[in-house]
Amino acid sequence: MKKFPAWILLLPVFLFFAAGCGGPNTAMVGLKVELSGVTRAGDGRAHVSWRIVNPNIVPYLVARTSHKVYLDGVLVGTVDDRDALAVPAQSKPQRTAPLNSAGAAGDAAIAKAVATGSASYRLESTVTIRLFGENTDKSDLTASGTVPVTAG
C-alpha cells in the first residue's frame, strides 16, 4: 500500500494563508479619490478640490497624496499634498490644494473649461496611508467623471 504524501494535506492550509496575505493595496480596499472642483483665480493660478471616499467601517490616516489632473484629456497639472488627513469611517473628507501647472496647454485647457463651466476629468492618484508608527501602505488610484470648473 502506498503512503499518502503529507504535503497534500498542508497545501490547502498554505494556499489559504497565501491568499490572505495579499500583495499591495490590501489595506485600502474600497477607498476612492474624486475630484470635486477646479477654481482658477484672477492671477491665473488654479486650485483643485478633491476628496477621499471611505465606504469602510475602518478609519484611515492619509500621510500623503499626489495627483495628476487631466481635464478633457489634457494634463493640466499636479498636486502634492504632504499634510496628514484623517478619514473617518464611512465619510468623504474634502481638501483644496494648489495645482502646479503643467504648462501652456494645461492653462489653455483650464481656460476652456472655465468658459464651459465643467470638464471631464481623469485623476491619477498615489495615496499613502499610515498603518502604525512609521509603517505605511501606498496605493495608486484612478478616477474619472465630470467636474465643475469656475473662475474665482
What integer pLDDT is reported at residue 134 of this predicted model? 80
Percent of the chain predicted with pLDDT > 70: 82
Is the pLDDT reported for residue 5 higher than 90? no
- Say which range, 5-19, 84-98, 101-115, has the weakest mean pLDDT: 5-19
What integer pLDDT is reported at residue 9 of this predicted model? 54
Closest CA to 125 of 140, 138, 110, 137: 140
Q: What's the pLDDT tens digit per position in 21-38?
A: 444 445 568 899 999 999
- Share the mean pLDDT of the chain: 86
CATH of 30-151, one of 1.10.3720.10, 2.70.170.10, 2.40.50.140, 2.60.40.1820: 2.60.40.1820
What integer pLDDT is reported at residue 57 of this predicted model? 92
What integer pLDDT is reported at residue 11 of this predicted model? 47
Task: Band the pLDDT of 12: cuts 50, 70, 90.
Answer: low
Give the C-alpha distances (Å, rounded to integers) separating 70 from 43, 48, 90, 104: 21, 11, 27, 14
Domain boundaries, the chain: 30-151
Q: What is the mean pLDDT of residues 64-71?
A: 96
Task: Band the pLDDT of 74: cuts 50, 70, 90.
Answer: very high
What is the CB neighbour count within 10 angstroms for residue 119?
22
Is the pLDDT reported for residue 107 higher than 60? yes
